[in-house]
A and B are shown apart, each in its own frame.
Chain A
Amino acid sequence: MGQETKVRTGARAVMEVLQAEGVELVFGYPGGAVLPLYHELAQTSIHHILVRQEQNAVHAASGYARTSGRTGVCFATSGPGATNLVTGIATAYMDSVPVVIFTGQVPTSMVGSDAFQETDITGITIPITKHNYLVKDVEELPRIVKEAFYIASTGRPGPVLVDIPKDVALAPCQAPIPEKVELRGYKPTYHGHPGQLRALARLLKESRRPLLFAGGGVIASGAEGYLQELAEKIQAPVATSLTGLGAFPEDTPLSLGMVGLHGKPCANHAVMECDLLVGLGVRFDDRVTGAIEKFAPRARIAHVDIDPAEIGKNVRVDLPLVGDISCVLKELLALVEPAEHPEWLERIKILRNNYPLTYGRGGEVRPQWVIERLGEMTRGRAIIATDVGQHQMWAALFYGYTEPRTFISSCGLGTMGYGLPAAIGAALARPDRQVWLITGDGSLQMSMAELGTAIEQGISLKVLLFNNQSLAMVRQLQHFYYEGRYTAIKFTGNPDFVRLAECYGATGLRIAKQEEVVPALARAMQEDGITLIECLISEEEMVYPMVLNGAALNEMLLPE
């Protein structure tokens, strides 16, 4: 036994790379084929978080990565363990989150034989990973794992999967960890092309109504400081995408907030009226543009992104600029002169006054109002994880983000069930910060079992659950697009969520009246551990503004 442990196996080599990469946490779920990794993991100081289902391991790793800016790591076994990861991987891929996923695989001699718990997970995940590997030779393992971290975290970040057959993990491995990664087919462009940079500076100078549009790329590259500097230097308002929330402080006069089908009215109007739109680390998703042919009709569009394939994919671009947002903005700041746009900012002020963000009709407790109070009470500085549904849009519109990496949400894929595991990852990444999960009864029930994980980890987490006993975003779609024929949206068998929290050993609170809101939020802020606040709301609430299919961004439906 003592003799055996001295052999450096493939699994041991994997741990060496994890430690060299500074990995502190691994989220995962064990099973037969991945046990060699677990056997070695136990010998390291890396902390393992045992989730309740593999999908949530990826979500938690993704929440950890988004909050910390570091690469999240997760383990799962072959077969069902691996296929359970798929939604989590796709979620991370759509939002460009750096995650490295290790899956166990059946022994190489059995690969391709439909063995017990065998699936072709590299084949399955080609479209939803930045890259993936099936490791056949143990001597390649250290290089591959190192490459996986490099690919996941550089350029446009994304998930990378490494599938390791059991015999490969157990085989002796002599290969050292390479010092450098050499990938002849992967060389992201970081610095902006000087000519294109000058052209962008010229466009900014000529513009009377410039608008900066910041996305997740600003946060991924840590460019928020440069963005703020640029906005102030040229006095340009800043709107963000959903993933871009927090890239620019919303409590400043130049901030317009989120653009899109549920964007803030003045941000949407600004897009339609600007003469220059500078997209920074955005991909002009269909939920941002509305009817694409009506998007930003008066504007020249400059698009800065580290991924050349995003430029010109969805919208016509007058000025493409490939590069890392931080590098490009730093280089650009040296080229632009200070500018003023008093007329444009006056116009923005008028738009803001004429089109305030309002709630419309609803029940006794207004979720929008609750989120506004939460924003005030936490001064916009809590980390907010969300699920997907109406509450996600309210959390995006009414909280008021002031810092990057504080809005953690499945934006591109729209994965219900993301919130709780992502919040757990966020709480583990930033134990010094208050972490709130804003969720709904539909989404929470998709990953509710992770309450057990949260309790086990001893984290502090506040859950604000809006319960309308229905899938009200679907209801809203049926209201607008399907003649109000409400189908398959009612939950009649929901648990008592307060007691559910209590049976996990968490604190449960219920809000049924407006006057209970502030005391409940205040109490949750005081509590350590897990506090779940169930807030009863009307299923008839709507998310406004709403841009209907085929409409332009300024043709929003607003509450009466």
Chain B
Amino acid sequence: MKRTLSVLVENRPGVLTRVAGLFSRRGYNIDSLAVGRTENPTISRMTIVVDGDEQIIEQVCKQLNKLIDVIKLSDITDDPHVGRELMLIKVNADPAVRGEIMQIVDIFRARIVDIARNSLIIEATGDADKIDALENSLRPFGIREVVRTGKIAMLRGAKTKGMEASGDGTGD
């Protein structure tokens, strides 16, 4: 079962090490982890996709909450949210197949951001399903390299998961 955790952390050196170390130390599986600063420069947000059964997810959340640098944690999997990933994909593209590739790129509303003699770099954003589908569609042409950011997510509507939201950060 994959869960999406939205975690506000202090924007300080070493915080990523603490979070990543906790996952490896306790044997939890990180699917993806994306981190960047928020509207408040002293706070970063991590969007962590983690795989595990209910008991493991509960422990992950509780253990994360114990980190002093973790300010607030929400499991937003079941809340309506916009989830996006960014992918850069370098694909073989002889002049003969470029048209076909460009059609696929259009269908997925992706963009071509670099072009070389025999290859293209395509930029795509979307949820994981869409990104996977694009990658699969391009596979027959020969994929040279894929770079993915991991998921970032935001709640739909006016609700936020920021500091002003209710909750005291202890997660219980």
- Where the two chains meet, the residues of A that have a C-beta atom closer than 8 Å to any C-beta of B are 122-123, 126-127, 130-131, 134, 151, 183-189, 307-309, 312-313, 322
- What are 21 pairs between A and B in contact, CB < 8 Å? A126-B18, A127-B21, A130-B68, A151-B68, A184-B163, A184-B169, A185-B9, A185-B67, A185-B68, A185-B70, A185-B72, A186-B68, A189-B170, A307-B66, A308-B65, A308-B170, A309-B65, A309-B66, A312-B59, A322-B170, A322-B172
Q: Which of B38-78 contact A (CB under 8 A)?
A: 55, 58-59, 62-63, 65-72
B:100-125 near A, CB below 8 Å: none
Contact of B172 among A130, A131, A184, A308 (CB under 8 A): A308
User: CB-nearest residue of chain B relative to A183?
Assistant: B68
User: Is the Cβ of B10 less than 8 Å from the Cβ of A185?
Assistant: yes
**What is the total number of residues of chain B having a CB less than 8 Å from a CB of chain A?**
26
In the complex, A186→B168 CA distance in Å? 9
Give the distance in Å from the alpha carbon of A122 to the alpha carbon of B65 in the complex: 20
B25 contacts the other chain (CB 8 A): yes
Which partner residue on chain B sits nearest A151 by CB separation?
B68
User: Which of B10, B17, B58, B170 interacts with A126 by CB under 8 Å?
Assistant: B17
Q: Tell me, rounded to whole Å, the shortest Cβ–Cβ distance linking A322 to chain B.
A: 5
Instruction: Give the secondary structure class of B's interface.
Output: mixed
Contact assessment for A187 and B168 in the assembled complex, using a CB-CB cutoff below 8 Å:
yes
Residues of A within 8 A of B65 (CB): 308-309
Question: A186 — which chain B residues lie within 8 A by C-beta?
Answer: 68, 169
Contact of B58 (CB < 8 Å), options: A130, A185, A307, A312: A312
- Out of A122, A134, A309, name the residue touching B62 (CB < 8 Å): A309
Among residues of B, the one whose C-beta sits closest to the C-beta of A322 is B172
User: Please, which residues of chain A bring their CB within 8 A of the CB of B72?
Assistant: 185
Cβ A188 vs Cβ B170 within 8 A: yes
Minimal Cβ-Cβ distance residue in B for A323: B172
Residue on B nearest A184 in the bound complex, by CB: B71
User: Is B14 within 8 A of A134, CB to CB?
Assistant: yes
- Is B171 on the interface with A (CB-CB < 8 A)? yes
Point out the residues of chain B lying under 8 angstroms from A307, CB to CB.
66
Give Cα A131–Cα B14 distance, bound, in whole angstroms: 11
- Taking CB atoms, residues of chain A closer than 8 Å to B169 are 184-187
User: Cα distance A186–B68 when bound, in Å?
Assistant: 5
Q: Are B55 and A312 closer than 8 Å at their CB atoms?
A: yes
Give the residue of A122, A127, A185, A313 whose beta carbon is less than 8 angstroms from that of B69: A185
In angstroms, Cα B69 to Cα A151, docked, is: 12
Q: How far is the CA of A130 from the CA of B70 in the complex (A)?
A: 13
B62 touches A308 (CB 8 A): yes
Q: Output the least CB separation between A152 and chain B (Å).
A: 11
In the complex the two chains form, what is the Cα distance from A188 to B21 in whole Å? 23
List A contacts of B68 (CB < 8 A).
130-131, 151, 183, 185-186
Q: A185-B70, A186-B68, A309-B66 are in contact. Are A122 and B172 (CB under 8 A)?
A: no
Chain B residue with Cβ nearest A310: B62
Most chain-A CB neighbours within 10 Å: which of B14, B21, B59, B70? B14
Binary interface encoding of chain B residues 20-34 relative to chain A, with 1 for a CB under 8 A from any of its CBs, else 0? 010001000000000
**Contact call B63/A122, Cβ cutoff below 8 A:** no
Give B124 Cβ to nearest chain A Cβ, in Å: 35
**Extra inter-chain contacts (14) besides given A185-B169, A312-B55, CB under 8 Å:** A127-B21, A127-B25, A131-B68, A183-B68, A184-B163, A184-B169, A185-B67, A185-B70, A185-B72, A187-B170, A308-B65, A308-B171, A309-B65, A322-B170
Q: Quote the shortest CB–CB distance from A399 to chain B (angstroms).
A: 34
> In the complex, A151 Cα to B67 Cα: how many Å?
11
Q: When chains A and B are docked, how far (Å) is the Cα of A122 from the Cα of B14?
A: 9
**From residue A156, how far is it (CB to closest CB) to chain B in Å?**
8
Q: Smallest distance from the beta carbon of B69 to chain A beta carbons, Å?
A: 6
- A-chain residues with CB within 8 Å of residue B18 when the two chains form the complex: 126
Please tell me if the beta carbons of B172 and A189 are within 8 angstroms of each other in the complex: yes
8 A-B pairs with least C-beta separation: A309-B62, A185-B71, A308-B172, A131-B68, A322-B172, A186-B68, A184-B71, A308-B62
A90 to B70 CA separation, bound complex (whole angstroms): 22
B63 and A309 contacting across the interface, CB-CB below 8 Å: yes
**Interface contact A313-B14, CB-CB below 8 Å:** no
Q: Is the CB of A313 within 8 A of B59?
A: yes
Determine the distance from Cα of A237 to Cα of B71 in the docked complex, in whole angstroms.
40
**Quick one: closest B residue to A313, CB to CB?**
B59
